[in-house]
Amino acid sequence: MKLLQSLAALTASLAVALAGAGAVPAAAATAEEDVDVIASRLQDYYLSQGDEVLLANGIYLARTSDATDYLASQEADGSWADVDYADRTSSANGSVWSAYTALYRLMAMAQAYRDEGADGFEEPALLAGIEQGLRYWDEADPGNTNWWETEIGESIAMGRISVFLSDVLADDALEVTLEHNTGRLDPVGANGAWRTTNYLFEAVATEDVEDIRAGFDTMVATVAVDDSGDVNEAVQPDLSFWAHGPQLYSEGYGLALFANVAIWADAARGTSLAFSRDDLDTIAAYIVGGTRWMIRGEIGMLYLGYRPPKTVEGVTGYAAEFIEPLRMMARTDPLYARDYEAVLDNVLGETPGNGLTGDRYFWRSEFASHLRPEYGIFTKLNSSRTTGGEYRSTFRPSVGNEVYWNASGATAIQVTNEEYTDLGPAFDWFHYPGVTAPYAKEQDRGPAGRLSNGGSFTGGVSDGTYGATVFTLDRAGASAQKSYFAFDDEMVALGTGITSDRDVAVHTTVNQVAAAGNASVDGEAVAAGTDTEVAGASWAYNDRVGYVFPGSQTVHVANADQTGSWLGEDPETHRAFTLYVDHGVAPEDASYEYVVLPAMPENKVRNYARKPAVDVLRNDAALQAVRHDKLDLTMATFAEAGPLDLGDGRSLEVSEPCLVILDESGRTPVVTVSNPERPGLVVDVSLSDGDEAVHGTFALGAGPDLGRSVTGALASNTDPGASPLTASRAAVDHGAALAGDGDEGTEWRSGPDGTTWLASRLEPGSYLTGLRIDWGEDHATRYLVQTSTDGTTWTDRRFVQDGDGGTSSIELDPRPASFLRVVMLESSGGAGFSVRELTPETSVNLALGRAASASGGVGGNAVDGNLATRWIAPVDDRSWLQVDLGSVQPVSTVRLRWEASFARQYEIQVSDDGGTWETAYATTGAGSDGGTDLLSLEAEGRYVRMQTVRRSDSRWGVSVWEMEVFSDDALLDALEPAPARPDLALGRPVTAQSTYSSGLAAANAVDGDPTTRWASQRQDAPYTTERWLQVDLEDVRAVSRVAVTWEAATSDDYRVQGSLDGESWVDLARVQGRSSGLRDVVDIDRTEARYVRIIGLPATKYGLSVFDLEVYGGFNLTCSDEAVHLAPVATGGVTASVSPVVADDQFTAYSLDDTVARVVGAPEVTDDGAVEVPLATGPSGATSVLLTHSAGDEIAWCDVAVDVDTSALEALVDEADALDSREWSQRTWAPLLPALEAAKSVLAADAASRDEVDAAAAALADALDGLKPVRPSGR
């Protein structure tokens, strides 16, 4: 390849010379020539890494300069005597697999063969040694207990050797590198990036252009956002990265992800295989839009100090490894080059900040970033929903668990960016800044080394400029409520309810940093060697950071030497400035208040202490709140719903627990709201001033948007106390509220005929069991009942085709719902619709979001309404889980949703005071069989407890997805109406190729319970055993659809098969690739079958795991998942499909919004099942068309988007995309990227309006017009 590189360079030089002489322009390079360029750049990159050969796990076992020594020590058969090829040691946590030594040496020899400055350059003997070493490796075929070493590590080595030597290796030796490279296309996580990199190594070595293109597409997919919220090894919707479960890893595995994609983007730049603008935008979103917020010279995660930092280009630090990929992207992506360079310069120490100013809360990963030009503050949290960290080193009891408290509100306050790294291993791991904790060397490493916290009410809120976070401490025998509020000049920290049952003191650490010569408290110098308590302290100072204690706090201050060591390294001693509040041993309801003033001169800190800019309004268990009068900004964390007194007769009130930012700096009050633990919560906010009030209602997110901030203005005409009913339209004096006023003499009327909906908001925690509609004179003859948890995404619950007016009582199988909607399609009188009363029938879960505790584990997970989180009890028969309902309530029904490990015998107990308990229910006979237990009780109490007596499996503690408490028996009496399309597999006999454990039995996949699952046996790579799951329908049935809901252990390539006898199988469908949301819905040609199964190879070592296998007959009536785009003010249509096609089946279509798209004719059906619906469009917008048919109750929704002319905006985007950010002044460039990104969002939207397109175009045009070139140097 070196020869190819030289020839390419010569060709390019000649082309330039000839072109300069007026000759014919040189032809563009072919794709094959571009592959040689990519290979050459890869070689140059790895040779530039230095003499030490690095694979990917930080282990150094060979040097390029020693290549000829390795050749000399090599045995004749290609082996090395000092390598144990039979060793199976994992290299995951500091140990070394002996066989790696051989691989490293072969890589070093390959690099030396191509390195003009190395001994062995192009030496035939060195090449022969490499070939013989590869042959021996193939013969020995070393293995490892850790899949990563053999599947990825070995493949990296083989792939790199093939890239260096593919053109000179003997055929059999080259084949070894290809055979032992198991790389494949995998878009999931850092391991996916490594697998895809290995795939690309082979594609480059074999010069397969199409495989290279596929590899590049997949590599970009590894850093693309996964919007489903179901993939734990992926870039999350908040642009953070998760690995090893719901765990923030933007720095570790996330860095590996970035490094891999940057290497390939850089190698391909300027070639015909270069990454597209969309590809580069995806990478920029992840790094510039995400990870950049976590770096200010150094990564704002204090736990990283448990290991030595790396040194790159003379920079020693944990962010140093970002240097190379940042530099690669800066030269690859001109549009974002300035941003990459801003971070790069910051890491190199050339600038104090990274170019960002603002506030960012990563709601998925529970990490807050608050950046100003002069400083940065990073706060790392951990709730019961996430993993706070994992121990990945050799544990030293004398040191304790260094990472135990790293995500318990740990706050890095960075001005110089070296405050913490200057302490090195001498950092006291039990004085993390911002953390309240028992001061002891924690020995606990958590299950599988992973750490958690029991506090569910943990999260943040951000309006992009300011932010607040709350951390509910519930671990290590300690509890507390802690809030942090970040403004321009200060961060205010409040703590309350600090309680512990440990026999050690509890400390709240304000900061622990390298001591400076100006350390002081209240202006008095703190001399070196000081370690003392100061009563009534008002303020303190060290280096360039001030601290103020508004209540004249008693604090402990130290300016003393600390000694520590990294694993296997010599001890180091450094002097630390430590400031903390000592709450004493076993405190009860202790509290604190302090203000941090980063980058503020000492004299200004003194003045601030005399007159703080921020007032603490509340600091108690229900509410922590502060106000900054100068900014006209109030921030609060409401652990309980209720009012906040703002003073002067003003109050801020919320209807649900939440975090709030109230900004009154403009003409209209603006509120930003979030709730970290309650999916789909609807929060009413009111700001009152005497007789006047403004209000707002905020529908918060669920799933991947749980905890995301929502911003909106408060208005005087949005009183949350008004009716919960709304409608798509209403006649004058007949508004929606009349359908819920309890007066049958009044009614809502829609006005003229047409599709109309009437909706009702439900009480939080509601399960809708039914509804009653008292119709007016004009009733709906056809209508659809829907529910929603967020008011945006609707689920069809009942389609009524024969409405006859009067009173309609509809029973529904109970499901969680925040909204009910009745979509009315056809009117009895042809003059619209009228409803006297719409009455939802609900049963409310009293336990939802209430305070929960347990004998161990995270009790809050069982009352958060989230079936993706669960309580896991200690490994003990006698465990308990209890919830505080807030007041004494009737308790008539309790529902327990068990995980695979359940309690065979247990009791339900109630109490008025949490101390004296009465048994209200006890299992009898054989007890529970797991799954879901729905229990009838006759009791009352404030506290409800589930007390286990005997477990189903002695190996595990019991585990509960959700414990729900109801004051009525509606769920017990609720009917389970037969669905319009029954699941033929439900409750049928089922068998499987294998089962991992008794708690993961095959029957779980057909029990109708979304929380239970089947899992097959596991297998280390390679995955050669097909796994299958089979259901017996007990009779020959017509089958037209199969649905599979997967757990994380899936198959990327499986078949759906049918059989009449269970012996002879026919393939009905093949499913390839991984579905979004881990659910596959497979429509098949109508087939007669008694047995149905899925069969395929697992994608991971964990085999296959299925929550639900569903089989359906009936009709398949579907529309595309993608919206149909139509031209404005024109005719067009949508196409659905139906199977089977039945004679005389009549189709009817209805548009939800005729102003967007109107149905203008009867749908027509073709012989092959295509259903064409003719439409006439309006000027812009989006709507849905409902398609029904007479032969069945199936319905389909077809989404329609009316496109406006975006050509002018597209031209502006193309113009902006072609720019090089470095050519324009910083001041004029600053507005460009936000305007460009907003324009691209508008273009990507399904249905942008004319106004939205024009506004985006105007903003981008203004930004382009305002650009000024960088002034030449010297002017």
pLDDT at res. 148: 86
pLDDT, tens digit, 9 for 90 and up, residues 545-556: 999 999 888 999
Region of residue 865 (left: phi > 0; alpha: psi -120 to 50; beta: else): left
> Reduced to 3 states, what is the DSSP secondary structure of residue 572?
strand
Q: Please state, in angstroms and rounded to a whole number, the distance separating the CA atoms of residues 1044 and 1083.
A: 12
Q: What is the pLDDT of residue 718?
A: 64
pLDDT tens readout for residues 17-50? 333 333 444 467 788 899 999 999 999 999 998 8
Distance CA 496, CA 1062 (A): 64
Q: Which residues contact 558 (CB under 8 A, 6 or more apart)?
A: 530, 531, 532, 576, 577, 578, 579
1172 touches 1163 (CB < 8 A)? yes
Report d(CA 822, CA 1033) in Å as an integer: 35
Rounded to whole angstroms, the Cα distance separating 108 from 106 reads 5
Lowest mean pLDDT among 371-380, 751-760, 982-991, 1147-1156: 751-760
Q: Taking residues 720-728, report their average pLDDT.
A: 83
Tell me the one-letter amino acid at 776: G
Binning pLDDT at 50, 70 and 90, where does residue 1132 land?
A: very high
pLDDT, averaged across the chain: 92
Where residue 13 falls among pLDDT bands split at 50, 70, 90? very low
DSSP string, 19-86: HHTT-PPPPPPPHHHHHHHHHHHHHHHHHTT-SEEE-SSS-EEEEGGGHHHHHHHB-TTS-BTT--TT
Per-residue model confidence as pLDDT tens digits over 1232-1249: 999 999 999 999 987 788
| Residues 1083-1124 pLDDT 10s | 888 788 999 999 999 998 999 999 999 999 888 899 987 889
Q: What number is the average pLDDT over the span 164-189?
A: 93
Which has more pLDDT, 710 or 857? 710
Q: Residue 459: CA atoms inside 13 Å, Cβ hemisphere, count?
A: 26
* Residue 145 binned pLDDT confidence (cut-offs 50, 70, 90): confident
pLDDT at 1038: 85
The pLDDT score that the predictor gives to residue 861 is 84
User: Are the C-beta atoms of 941 and 894 separated by less than 8 Å?
Assistant: no
Mean pLDDT to the nearest integer, 1017-1042: 92
Which one-letter amino acid corresponds to residue 1167? D
> What pLDDT band is residue 282 in, cutting at 50, 70 and 90?
very high
In this predicted structure, what is the pLDDT of residue 1268? 97
**% of the chain with per-residue pLDDT over 90:** 79
pTM of this prediction?
A: 0.85
| In the chain, % of residues over pLDDT 70 | 96
3-state percent breakdown (helix, strand, coil) of the chain, nearest 5: 25, 35, 40
Give tens-digit pLDDT for 811-849.
Answer: 998 989 999 999 999 999 888 999 999 999 999 999 998
d(CA 942, CA 79): 72
Coil, strand or helix at 1212:
helix
Q: Can you give the pLDDT at residue 975?
A: 59
Q: Name the pLDDT band for 1214 (thresholds 50, 70, 90).
A: very high
What's the pLDDT at 521? 97
- Terminal Cα distance for the chain, rounded: 45
Q: Which helix (H) or strand (E) holds 596?
A: strand 590-598
* Residue 93 scores a pLDDT above 90: no
pLDDT band at 1022 (very low <50, low <70, confident <90, very high): confident
| pLDDT at 977 (0 to 100) | 52
Q: Check residue 24 and give its pLDDT.
A: 42
Is residue 121 pLDDT above 50, yes or no?
yes
How many CB atoms neighbour CB 406 within 10 A?
22
pLDDT, mean of residues 181-186:
91
- What per-residue confidence (pLDDT) applies to 188? 86
881 within 8 A of 963, measured Cβ to Cβ? yes
